[in-house]
Structure 1
């Protein structure tokens, strides 16, 4: 995985100018990277050309074309520079942090189970014997499992299926005029979490 962030395309023109200047300044005289490639002279020349394009009168086709061309060239050089910096023998993250580039954030993984869904509520779906189940989304959830019953204390609980979104959870084929209880649990990278508190509704 590349450690230095070269996602410059989202930066406005002025911000890209500032970032490129920051990188050149950070690498000038940097003992950890004495011979960057492309050389700082080449990058600085491309940066100067880009600054010159930005200084052209705004709103002209010539400026737009020149900014686009010089920015593309500078961006390519900075991407090549980043990859070569990463290939420096025995380079450390601490050293890469001195280059002026932003470091990619390393995703964190946890063995903790996902939390139980909150705010579970049931709603008539407008069709006889059908109930919509709603709840708050759970962080890291990959799916949601549903169970329902006529007796929340004694059970038994019936499997109501697995759903990919909290917006599409529903129960069909229920007996009208009966009180039903439903509960939901999230399934995360490490398996299912705890069941939510049950919610109830009289089916119409």
Structure 2
């Protein structure tokens, strides 16, 4: 059985992507029953993200001091994310869906290269109100499937699922059209490519 570790590659992300990644972690950990007592509180992590965003805005106006302040804010944010990643590692108990539900990504100690095929969305239908239900073509060696949705803005995490035939995407706004993408998770490469997006209106 492969041993999964929380990937720390977020420390190498460009500023804008690090900001987006942090937002995904904050959203994923908020109210997540699998992680009831984060090492870094959601409030503190959000505050560090806000400070980083403000520093990026100030740096865009120029000046060495602004650049230094941005670098300092980034370093503080990365340090907090590392603490949170360690907490997720200890609490996730090597369960891949639980680990991924934190918003962090995983890496495997399995050295056998086994790239995953890209899943295809076979159907996207309405479930209960505020829900869409995706049906995805299964991928060999996939341990789970991760979904993301978009409604006019950027992509946001929509859950990690162990079954490909019924993936319930909840918390959507009725009357809005959502694009959905899915990728497979598992194997030494960690993730497949994202599927082609499919759109449907939430009811």
After TM superposition, the score normalised by the length of structure 1 is 0.49
